[in-house]
Amino acid sequence: MLNGKGNNSQTMTIKVTPDRSKEINKLGLPREITVRFVRVLLDTGEYEVLVTNLLDEHNYPTEDFKEIYYLRWGIETFFGTLKGRLDLENFSGKTAESVYQDFYAMIYLSGLESIFTEDINCQLYEKKVKNKQQVNRAVSFNAIKNCAFEILYSDDDDDEIINRLNKLFLTNVVSTRENRKVPRNKKSARHLLNHLKRKRKICF
């Protein structure tokens, strides 16, 4: 479908391969699922193929999926923030309990970051500058991580901590450009591995 040939919407039933049957039966999962592949043409001229369980083409027309995909993009970028910026997949343990703990702690702290930066981002948005500004999230996530226990458990005045954070956020901003489109630069697997192991800066 990625080469633009065939129908833009195709329904397919995917069955379990024989070598996975035993594992699937043990987990009590279905042996087959029916999904719909929907092809959308991006503004860049590239095709994107989406997989969905919205099988009814009458109720969910193919032409609506580009808009739906765009509306969901904020969720996708949040997952990217969790995995990239916050290094969610670098778990502190190997048990299911430790994975749950890390995940919920990360979600909680990202919520705190949103609360503490909301007013500052509103102030920055009102500034008369060429490009709109927002708080540098690498700075805000790192600061809130280091202040989390102080905020939640300390007997110190919370206002003092929050004022300190606000000053930090106001002096660490990044510019945003509306409707900016950056062409995709596909990297090789070797390049990505080198970046993840040696170059990527983790703030969490």
> In Å, how far are 92, 102, 136, 171 from 140, measured between CA atoms?
22, 19, 6, 11
What pLDDT is attached to residue 53? 93
What are 13's two structure tokens?
């039933």
Neighbouring residues of 39: CB distance < 8 A, sequence distance ≥ 6: 1, 2, 4, 8, 9, 47, 48, 49, 50, 62
Q: Kindly report the number of other CB atoms within 10 A of residue 86's CB atom.
A: 22
What pLDDT is attached to residue 126? 87
Q: What is the C-alpha radius of gyration for the chain, rounded to an integer number of angstroms?
A: 22
What pLDDT is attached to residue 39? 94
How far, in Å, CA of 154 to CA of 161, rounded? 10
For residues 157-180, one letter each, b for 16 or more C-beta atoms within 10 angstroms of the residue's C-beta and e for the rest, the string is eeeeeeeebbebbeeebeeeeeee
What pLDDT is attached to residue 74? 83
What pLDDT is attached to residue 197? 66
Tens digit of each residue's pLDDT, the chain (204 residues): 778 788 999 999 999 999 999 999 998 999 999 999 999 998 888 899 999 999 999 999 999 999 988 888 888 888 888 887 777 777 888 899 999 998 998 898 889 899 999 999 999 988 888 888 899 988 998 888 888 888 788 776 778 888 889 999 999 988 877 666 656 677 777 877 776 666 665 555
